[in-house]
Chains A and B, each alone.
Chain A
Amino acid sequence: MANDLFNSFMTGPDENGRFGQFGGRFVSETLMPLILDLEAEYENAKTDDSFWAEMDFLWKHYVGRPSPLYLAERLTEQLGGAKIYMKRDELNHTGAHKINNVLGQIILARRMGKTRIIAETGAGQHGVATATVCAKFGLKCVVYMGAHDVERQKPNVFRMKLLGAEVVPVTSGRGTLKDAMNDALRDWVTNVRDTFYCIGTVAGPHPYPAMVRDFQAIIGKEAKAQMLEAEGRLPNTLIAAIGGGSNAMGLFFPFLDDKDVEIIGVEAGGKGVNAKMEHCASLTGGRPGVLHGNRTYLLQDDDGQILEGFSISAGLDYPGIGPEHSWLHEIGRAKYVSITDVEALEAFQLSCQTEGIIPALEPSHALAHVAKIAPDLPKDHIICMNMCGRGDKDIFTVAKALNWDMEESD
């Protein structure tokens, strides 16, 4: 690279919240003043040591960070190629990476004097994390969840209720994450004065994509230090699953300027990336558009109407992707691939059987891509994949997909 400073991939977004042409603030006027307040508050917190001291304390004592970087030896052996490490964010309190970000946003909400927290959730992990932190701080919590997802992620619905949150099933559209986000935005417009919208991924209007990334970047910062300690060098390849893209951005961001590190994001291929759009691979199968406050790649028809997508994984079932990923895709810094439901289910079982780790269906997509490429890579090629969530919430879905009768003993 000719000029390292000017070619840094880590300076975005610009003052208009853009990563190249992506991102921005496409929201109604009612929300705009609040979004500007939030941006100011976040800019302030970012350079405030007391903010990060509080985050570090809670990350350590409440979430259980740092999460281990784990060498998956039997998996490596079985695949017979590249050396595979897992960043174990599934060990976090509440079972996924989502809480890394929720803590940051709730601390900000408290600084802004907001007393009511709303969130959207797909798999329910972000909803559970938000309900958890709200319980801890005594804040009112309302979670919007697509009716279809309420059905397929029942354990998480019950967890949220136990934690004192109100769960609102959303019946518009196909009843998935996109629809939950619409209703959360509608709630926010209505209750803008006392309510903080805690977005669960690197999407939405600026400053959310940057803010959520910065909170999730703890994953990549730890992974980098841990990898240097374990191997004395950086990994060759990073792999993470993408719904909106927060666990992926969190792992990728601290490595963006390490130009020898290959970066691969894995989108949900559903039944296969086909013309019928029975998938959620926004970058592979979509084109740029504007939804939920930002410009990014979206699944849409010729008229600009948003399509529903399809994935076995509720957390990946979203027709968009965070704007920074769209930018990394267009400039070629990261590569994006897709994995089908069938491939993800195979990887899910592979992880259970070789490593004793029951993964969530979301990182099972990342693992499936690892399984696809690792055998052909040399043994000194190091892959670091983000095991961003555990699979307890998915056992019913997987049982059904594998035709296992949960009611029957043994």
Chain B
Amino acid sequence: MTRIDAKFAALKAEGKKAFVAYVMAGDPDYETSLEIVKGMPDAGVDIIELGLPFTDPMADGPTIQLAGQRALEAGMTLNKTLDLARAFREDDDVTPIVLMGYYNPIYSHGVDRFLVNAKAAGIDGLIVVDLPPEEDSELCIPAQAAGLNFIRLATPTTDNKRLPKVLQNTSGFVYYVSITGITGAASAVATDVGPEVARIQAATDIPVIVGFGIRTPEASRDIASVADGAVVGSAIVDLIGKGQSPSDVLAFVRGLAAGAHSA
């Protein structure tokens, strides 16, 4: 049982929905980013999604593109991203960390070496945007073998014919992308998302979490109420981009978490 599985079991026992928060590792710099991440569990974050900076984030809107640029300019790398996870693990051994990013830095690092290092750093799962099921042999299968969850994205274009393929090697949770689009763009509408989540839940036992386009505590509550949890990224990253202090960022995160937990 991974930390992710344990977390969902605990939430289920409490009858609570999950709140997942995304930040870019190393944005605006390593120390500030670590401080924010370390404060997340206390702010109510159930699962931390840690962005792995990449120069060409093709599925991300301007907010996360800029966060990646800030991180890279401040000297962030894959190795330092793993250092950040390791530093977080020094005082927290239960909150799951999911690394989210693009394949090239991982491929460049060497898949086998990456998996060993990620596991040792306390990473629990991976979301790699540009690895659809068609490329499972690249990283998904080796990651599962190494004891890491491989969390797949399902989208509005994933029809029922394709869904089994998407679910097949998914573990931990399914990340339902609420819109056709990039991060930080349109807002998710609970009445559209609900039936889609139900469709996926009918096909799998693992939790379905919804992300993209959730920006407020109310939206966090509304979306979480029709799913197993909600993810917020760009709205948090926006505040970091505006130079807000870690405590202000975490105060906002606390509100989002309370929203999801009230669902």
Contact across chains for B166 and A29 when beta carbons are under 8 A apart: yes
Q: Is A164 an interface residue (CB 8 A)?
A: no
For the complex formed, measure the closest distance between the CB of A307 and the CB atoms of chain B, giving whole angstroms. Answer: 8
Q: Is A311 an interface residue (CB 8 A)?
A: no
Inside 8 A of A186's CB, which chain B residues have their CB? 58-61, 182
Q: Is B92 an interface residue (CB 8 A)?
A: no
Give chain B interface residues in 60-85, CB to chain A under 8 Å: 60-61, 65, 72, 77-79
| Total number of A residues with any Cβ neighbor in B under 8 Å | 36
Give Cα distance in the complex from A189 to B61, angstroms: 11
Digitize B120-156: 1 where CB-to-A-CB distance is under 8 Å, 0 elsewhere. Answer: 0000000001111111000000000000000011111
Give Cα distance in the complex from A196 to B54, angstroms: 26
Contact partner of B78 among A31, A291, A298, A304, CB < 8 A? A304
Contact across chains for A185 and B72 when beta carbons are under 8 A apart: no
Q: Can you sample 23 A-B contacts with CB below 8 Å? A: A24-B134, A25-B134, A26-B103, A26-B132, A29-B152, A33-B162, A34-B157, A173-B55, A178-B56, A182-B57, A182-B58, A186-B61, A189-B181, A190-B180, A193-B157, A290-B103, A290-B107, A290-B130, A293-B130, A295-B107, A300-B104, A303-B105, A306-B56
Q: Is A292 an interface residue (CB 8 A)?
A: yes
Inside 8 A of A173's CB, which chain B residues have their CB? 55-56
Contact across chains for A304 and B162 when beta carbons are under 8 A apart: no
Add 17 more A-B contacts to A29-B157, A304-B109 (CB < 8 A). Answer: A24-B134, A25-B132, A29-B153, A33-B158, A34-B157, A185-B58, A193-B157, A193-B180, A290-B104, A290-B107, A292-B56, A292-B58, A295-B107, A304-B105, A305-B54, A305-B55, A305-B105
Give Cα distance in the complex from A142 to B54, angstroms: 26
Give Cα distance in the complex from A373 to B181, angstroms: 49
Interface of B is mostly: loop
A34-B157, A190-B182 in contact; A29/B104 too (CB < 8 A)? no
Give Cα distance in the complex from A306 to B58, angstroms: 13
Inside 8 A of B180's CB, which chain A residues have their CB? 30, 189-193
A193-B180, A305-B105 in contact; A27/B132 too (CB < 8 A)? yes
| Chain A-chain B contacts (Cβ-Cβ < 8 Å), number | 115
Inside 8 A of B108's CB, which chain A residues have their CB? 289, 300, 302-304
Q: Is B248 an interface residue (CB 8 A)?
A: no
Digitize B195-224: 1 where CB-to-A-CB distance is under 8 Å, 0 elsewhere. Answer: 000000000000000000000000000000
Instruction: Return the chain A residue nearest B72 by Cβ.
Output: A305
Contact across chains for B109 and A33 when beta carbons are under 8 A apart: no
For the complex formed, measure the closest distance between the CB of B262 and the CB atoms of chain A, giving whole angstroms. Answer: 30
Instruction: Return the chain B residue nearest A185 by Cβ.
Output: B58
Contact across chains for B132 and A304 when beta carbons are under 8 A apart: no
- 8 smallest beta-carbon distances between A and B, as pairs: A304-B108, A304-B105, A190-B181, A30-B155, A26-B130, A303-B77, A32-B132, A304-B104
Instruction: Return the chain B residue nearest A32 by Cβ.
Output: B132
Q: Is A409 an interface residue (CB 8 A)?
A: no
Give Cα distance in the complex from A211 to B58, angstroms: 22
Q: Is A3 an interface residue (CB 8 A)?
A: no
Contact across chains for A29 and B155 when beta carbons are under 8 A apart: yes
Q: Is B239 an interface residue (CB 8 A)?
A: no
Q: Is A47 an interface residue (CB 8 A)?
A: no
For the complex formed, measure the closest distance between the CB of B204 and the CB atoms of chain A, giving whole angstroms. Answer: 15
Inside 8 A of A353's CB, which chain B residues have their CB? none
A binding-site residues for B, Cβ under 8 Å: 16, 24-34, 172-173, 178, 182, 185-186, 189-193, 289-293, 295, 298, 300, 302-306
Instruction: Return the chain A residue nearest B177 by Cβ.
Output: A30
Q: Is B106 an interface residue (CB 8 A)?
A: yes
Q: Is B185 an interface residue (CB 8 A)?
A: yes
Instruction: Return the chain A residue nearest B179 by Cβ.
Output: A190
Q: Is B159 an interface residue (CB 8 A)?
A: yes
Contact partner of A289 among B107, B152, B155, B156, CB < 8 A? B107
Give Cα distance in the complex from A317 to B92, angstroms: 46
Contact across chains for A172 and B103 when beta carbons are under 8 A apart: no
Q: Which of the listed residues A33, A182, A298, A305 has the most CB atoms from chain B within 10 Å of its own CB?
A: A305
For the complex formed, measure the closest distance between the CB of A43 and the CB atoms of chain B, giving whole angstroms. Answer: 16
Inside 8 A of A295's CB, which chain B residues have their CB? 107
Inside 8 A of A298's CB, which chain B residues have their CB? 104
Instruction: Return the chain B residue nearest A24 by Cβ.
Output: B135
Inside 8 A of A300's CB, which chain B residues have their CB? 104, 108
Give Cα distance in the complex from A302 to B105, angstroms: 9
Contact partner of B58 among A25, A28, A304, CB < 8 A? A28
Give Cα distance in the complex from A302 to B108, angstroms: 7
For the complex formed, measure the closest distance between the CB of B31 and the CB atoms of chain A, giving whole angstroms. Answer: 20
Contact across chains for B65 and A28 when beta carbons are under 8 A apart: no
Inside 8 A of B104's CB, which chain A residues have their CB? 289-291, 298, 300, 304, 306
Give chain B interface residues in 152-199, CB to chain A under 8 Å: 152-159, 162, 166, 177, 180-182, 185
For the complex formed, measure the closest distance between the CB of A303 and the CB atoms of chain B, giving whole angstroms. Answer: 4
Inside 8 A of B129's CB, which chain A residues have their CB? 28
Give Cα distance in the complex from A291 to B162, angstroms: 24
Give Cα distance in the complex from A298 to B57, angstroms: 16
Contact partner of A172 among B65, B109, B154, B162, CB < 8 A? B65
